[in-house]
Amino acid sequence: MQNFDYMTPTRLIFGEGVISQLPKVMSAFGKKILLTYGGGSIKKIGLYDKVKELLDGFEIIELSDIQPNPKYDPSVLEGVRLCKEHNIDVILSVGGGSVLDCSKAIAAGAKYDGDVWDLITYKVKAQAALPIVDILTLAATGSEYDSGGVISRTETNDKIGYMDPHLYPAVSFLDPTYTFSVSKKQTAAGCADAMNHIIEQYFCEDATLLNDGFCEAGLKSLMINAKKCLDDPRDYTARAEMMFACTLGCNGIYSLGNSPSGWPCHGIEHALSAYYDITHGEGLAIITPRWMTHILSDKTVGRFVKYGVNVFDIDSTLPPFEIAEKAIKATYDFFESIGIPMHLKDVGIDDSRISEMAHHIAVNEGLENAYAPLTQQDIEKILIASL
Ligand code: NZQ
Ligand code: ZN
């Protein structure tokens, strides 16, 4: 077991109706709020009006239209500008992971005199950030309980995940009823994203029994509850369990003491989203089984056996490689069964930029240090197999 040093300072307030605590929570940070949100889903579900009603008496400046795969230009730049111009005290992010990630970048940029891209690319280390409170409306990324944000810069095809301890949300409101309206497409993509977060941590050199059990339970919970959410979008229990399982995905708790894995599928998927602006969870679902097939070897087969037997109840007496292949097929079949398009061509990606993307990933993602090291040629093969 590896050494670790762990702290997640975020306060989670979970359950139906918890938003009534919003005024008290916000007043601890000040009166001037930057309210950030996306393309309008929060207005459709009445959450925007509710927030405005609860925060009557606060000074609210708004940044709307934050897109999925949030963009440095205009959203992050505009948010930083608004914070500086209005001397904002706290950011309130209302929406999914994209709104929250954008808000994190804004929070750091608001306390920095130079170009916020310096922080995102780690050229300069953030010294401070505005506090962030979020009301999550989509179960997927885990951004509500981690210190990371992922920002895209269209002109350079960059999609960069950056982490900084200043970027943990101070408070995350998690009311599962706000996810009732999430579409089938985004529900399935959110499930695939959260499952992949666990898979990325599970496939590593050195794991504990405790973490393996935790990961296996997380994967089962996500698979069972995502199907229930798709069958009945207003199933509170299923939405609630899915929301909590997603929340735990990226803050490290699934893999404390494990050796690092390199998060290879995320490294590959971020390039797909950067070049083609696809839905993150769909890209991951497409890549994951092909990555699994590519890395299956004498060295890795033991992890696949454990995964197959404990997550998919595959007969443990079968030969190891047969279990592994069944486990990979079960992973693919599950994603397909929840309606995810399982080929890159289904999401508008052809072979024309595969080599360019493989090069971009190899140069920027450091996957030669992953659990199963990946060269540019390996990445290209995985992308071609995903077509
Ligand atoms: O823009 P609006 O109108 O709000 O619509 C959104 C958007 O179109 C919609 N939506 C959100 N809540 C809804 C809803 N529609 C109906 N009802 C609701 N209650 O869903 C669409 C997708 O939203 P988005 O925020 O993009 O989805 P998600 O939460 O999956 O976030 C994806 C982004 O997070 C990054 C991804 O790369 C991607 O950019 N990630 C962030 C991570 C982190 N910070 O830790 C880790 C992840 O691995 C991931 O990379
Ligand atoms: Zn992800």
167 shares its domain with 200: no
Average pLDDT score over residue span 138-150: 98
Going through the chain in order, the beta strands assigned E by DSSP cover 11-14, 32-36, 59-63, 90-95, 132-136, 148-153, 158-163, 171-174
pLDDT at 127: 97
Model confidence over 315-336: pLDDT tens digits? 999 999 999 999 999 999 999 9
Our answer on whether the CB atom of 97 is closer than 6 Å to any ligand 1 atom is yes
60 CA distance to ligand 2 middle (Å): 31
**Per-residue model confidence as pLDDT tens digits over 196-235:** 999 999 999 999 999 999 999 999 999 999 999 999 999 9
- pLDDT on residue 305: 98
Output the CA 316–ligand 2 centroid distance in Å: 30
> Would you say the CB of residue 148 lies under 6 angstroms from ligand 1?
yes
Ligand 1 atom with least separation from CA of 70? 39
**Predicted confidence band of residue 63 (pLDDT cuts 50, 70, 90):** very high
Which of 120, 154, 178 is the endpoint of a domain? 178
Over residues 86-132, the pLDDT tens digits come to 999 999 999 999 999 999 999 999 999 999 999 999 999 999 999 99
CATH number at 373 reads 1.20.1090.10
Tell me what pLDDT residue 88 has: 98
Whether residue 160 sits in one domain with residue 18: yes
Q: Read out DSSP for 18-58?
A: GGGGHHHHHHTT-SEEEEE--SSHHHHTTHHHHHHHHTBTB
Ligand 1 centre to CA of 82 (Å) is 22
Instruction: For residues 290 and 242, state if they share a domain.
Output: yes
Spatial neighbors of 291 by CB under 8 A, at least 6 apart, are 264, 265, 268, 382
- Which of 150, 167, 200 has most ligand 1 atoms within 8 Å of CB, for mutation? 150
- Looking at the DSSP assignment, which residues form a beta bridge with residue 182? none
pLDDT-based confidence at 170, cuts 50/70/90?
very high
**Residue ranges making up the domain that contains 268:** 183-386
Mean pLDDT of the chain: 97
In contact, 153 and 16? CB cutoff 8 Å? no
Does residue 338 sit in the same domain as residue 235?
A: yes
Pocket test for ligand 1, best of 62, 98, 166 (most atoms within 8 A of CB): 98
Can you give the pTM of this predicted structure?
0.98
Note whether 121 and 207 are same-domain residues: no
Determine if ligand 1 sits within 6 Å of the CB of residue 69.
Answer: yes
